[in-house]
Structure 1
Amino acid sequence: MKAMVLTALSKIEEQEIPQPVPADGEALVRVTGSGICGTDLKIFDGGMPARLPLVMGHEITGEIVKGHTANGAGPGTRVVIDPTCACGTCFHCKIGQTNLCPNSLLIGRERNGGFAEYMTIPETNAHSIPDDVDDDEAAFIQVFSTCWHAQMLAEIVPGETVVVTGLGVAGQLHVQLAKALGAGKVIGITRSKWKRDMAEKFGADLTLAPDEDTPERILEATDGRGADLGIETAGKLYTLAQTMDLVRLGGRILPFGIYTEKEGKLPFYDFYFKELKIINARASLANSFPASTKLVRDGDIQIKPLITHVLPMTDLNKAMEMLATDEPGRMKMIIRASL
């Protein structure tokens, strides 16, 4: 089968490799598409260690060829893949925290992923998708499921004010989801005007560029209190610090971005003085997938406007180069096994 193989840091080669054979309890999936994101870039350039050679790709949709889905559906079923392969037997798995399994393997990092024509997965990781959610939208379900899981932990109360810093793909999804869950006011913050415009189309009540006036603007919009919840999506310590500055006394912070810095500056006194609650979230759970799929299917979350590029698998190197830049107008890229 055809696969795009990471053979060395920053080097992807098109190769013919054997089609994988599913073990007991596994399914063989024909890949139809995979999203590409910052995690792939970190694996690609060595920011996240991985054993090479490797087929990356963890935001995957496809079709069951052999085996079954988590709910028993057989060959021909269209599926979205949970990339976290938990052991099922450890303490965390037994209490329902499969996303925190210390023995887990991440598809696309510790086992071959979706930038190939076929792949094998645990049957429990395959979740059916309805016919009225197309393949490109389905490739979004995995990343959206992580937003859903995070906001379930954040427990938005209807009427609350939510600030989202960073309005890339995850930020745009968080804006939409916060509104869908009943937030009274959602405020988006980014330097990019076109991203602010997009967030407003998705329902953001106010968008701002991060500057010295931003805290005052947030206070004006919240009767002098500050936001109830701040969601940081850029994965940068300085934007996390900005987010902490924008929430009220007793507010909550959801550091959704992945931070790879070993050290940096944060306003630690604010943790104490403002009595901030930090809510971290990692990946998602099995129940995140049907809930996320329903929101997309029902039209509560708009996916199509976020898909700006659909590329053939053979253009993966080009896609990685694009991902490393902040090209105006680019949001989500979908890599199709065939195009």
Structure 2
Amino acid sequence: MTARAEGNPATVTQQIRRVLVRSIDDITIERVPAPVPGDHELLVRTKVVGVCGSDTHAAAGHHPFIGLPYRPGHEAVGVVAATGRGAGAFAPGDRVIVEPNLYCGTCAQCRSGRYNICRDLKVFGCQTPGAMTDLFTIAADRVHRVPEGMSDVEAALVEPLATPVHAVAKAGDLTGRSVAVLGAGPIGLLTLLAARHAGATRIAVTDPLEGKRKRALRLGADAALPADAPALVAQANAALSGPADVIFDCVAREQSMAQATDLVAKGGHIVVVGVGAAGTTPIRLDLIQDRELRIEGTLMYTDEDYRTAMSLIASGTVDTGEIVTATYALEDAAEAFAASTDPQHVKVLVTVDGP
């Protein structure tokens, strides 16, 4: 195997820093040898990586699919440092965004184009070491070029926006329809933007925190309602001129699913976007049957969703100042995780300036 490298070839043999998460109270920096790209792989120098809600859930031991310890970083932007043989048209110096779903390519789901639900799916930075490090390797077909003129911070929002883009696509044509988004965290706020772009005419967002509701209004929600209001259904109906045609549940808990069932119109569609807790969640089957409700899960994204997300960000649809609320250096990753658990923050980024 040979690799083309940027600058001094020693950059691919040095010691690097990498974040290790053992628990939410035990997040440290380990030092390991720099990886070397294999065939069809890239060596990427991290520039910016986001802390996802899945990261904090995993660190707290609450994520059903990410075990501890783990090495995070799936919302990543970087610069190609070296290329392995057969890595395609990429060259050192290219700016790239990671698409972290690692799929087999041979199962029925992959063959149908739905590789986001690959039977053997793993996620870079969740089930494998991620990009919260100085350097990482990844298959060349798992990255996208950063569009010309897009900043690293904007590019870091492509991955988190692609999930709502995919969820909105699952709901079908939203033109002229009313929507309720449950939860005004990062995914809920980005779902609001994706739903508006897809043609939704009336959008209500719910959240228990006033600060998050105000942010949703600044981002274009027609109404932002207290999720714990006793009269939530009546308030939502008033804001939307009736029950919502589509509900995006970005909370995915028993209470939010109960609210979704009450808020959605007969014959409506509930899309579960948030990662639910492990175990069972009671739902009203009598209402689902009687009202002909459709409940559908949504997982991650495909390259089409990435392209749409990049287009939305490039168009200025996403106000990065409202979404990115804190930035930390790699050495301060523990503080970045702590900030991400603060409900007043939306998206926390970690920047990497090199070893």
Please classify the TM superposition score into its range, dividing by the shorter chain length.
over 0.9
What is the rounded CA distance, in whole Å, between the counterparts of 1:110 and 1:75 in structure 2? 27
1:65 match: 81
Contact 1:34 1:57 in 2 (8 A): yes
Is 1:30 paired with 2:48? no
Is 1:332 paired with 2:350? no
Is 1:192 paired with 2:200? no
Is 1:240 paired with 2:257? yes
2:231 match: 213
Contact 1:70 1:126 in 2 (8 A): no
1:134 match: 151
Contact 1:177 1:301 in 2 (8 A): no
What is the rounded CA distance, in whole Å, between the counterparts of 1:119 and 1:73 in structure 2? 15
What is the rounded CA distance, in whole Å, between the counterparts of 2:75 and 2:348 in structure 1? 11
Aligned with residue 19 of structure 1, among 34, 57, 60: 34
Total equivalences in the alignment: 336
2:282 match: 265
1:152 aligned partner, one-letter code: A
What is the rounded CA distance, in whole Å, between the counterparts of 1:35 and 1:235 in structure 2? 22
RMSD of aligned residue pairs (Cα, Å): 2.1
Contact 1:313 1:335 in 2 (8 A): yes
TM-score normalised by the chain length of structure 2: 0.89
Structure 2: gaps spanning 5 or more residues = 1-15
What is the rounded CA distance, in whole Å, between the counterparts of 2:326 and 2:334 in structure 1? 14
Give the CA deviation at 1:10: 4.4
2:75 aligned partner, one-letter code: E
Structure 1: gaps spanning 5 or more residues = none
2:338 aligned partner, one-letter code: E
- After superposition, the C-alpha distances for 1:265-311 in whole angstroms (9 at most, x for unaligned) are 32222211211111211011112112110110011232332111000
Give the CA deviation at 1:261: 3.6
Give the CA deviation at 1:219: 2.3
Give the CA deviation at 1:71: 7.6
Runs of 4+ in 1 over 6 A off after TM superposition: 68-71
Between the aligned residues of both structures, percent identity stands at: 26
Give the CA deviation at 1:51: 5.9
1:221 aligned partner, one-letter code: A
TM-score normalised by the chain length of structure 1: 0.93
Contact 2:333 2:350 in 1 (8 A): yes
2:126 aligned partner, one-letter code: R
Q: Do the aligned partners of residues 52 and 131 (structure 1) sit closer, same or farther apart at CA in structure 2, a change above 3 Å counting?
A: same
- After superposition, the C-alpha distances for 1:148-206 in whole angstroms (9 at most, x for unaligned) are 11111111331100001111111111111111111111111112222111111111111
1:303 match: 320
* Superposed counterparts of 1:49-198, under 5 Å: 50=66, 54-67=70-83, 72-198=89-215
* SS of structure 2 residue aligned to 1:244: helix
Q: Do the aligned partners of residues 252 and 13 (structure 1) sit closer, same or farther apart at CA in structure 2, a change above 3 Å counting?
A: same
* SS of structure 2 residue aligned to 1:241: helix
Q: Do the aligned partners of residues 70 and 233 (structure 1) sit closer, same or farther apart at CA in structure 2, a change above 3 Å counting?
A: farther
Give the CA deviation at 1:19: 0.7
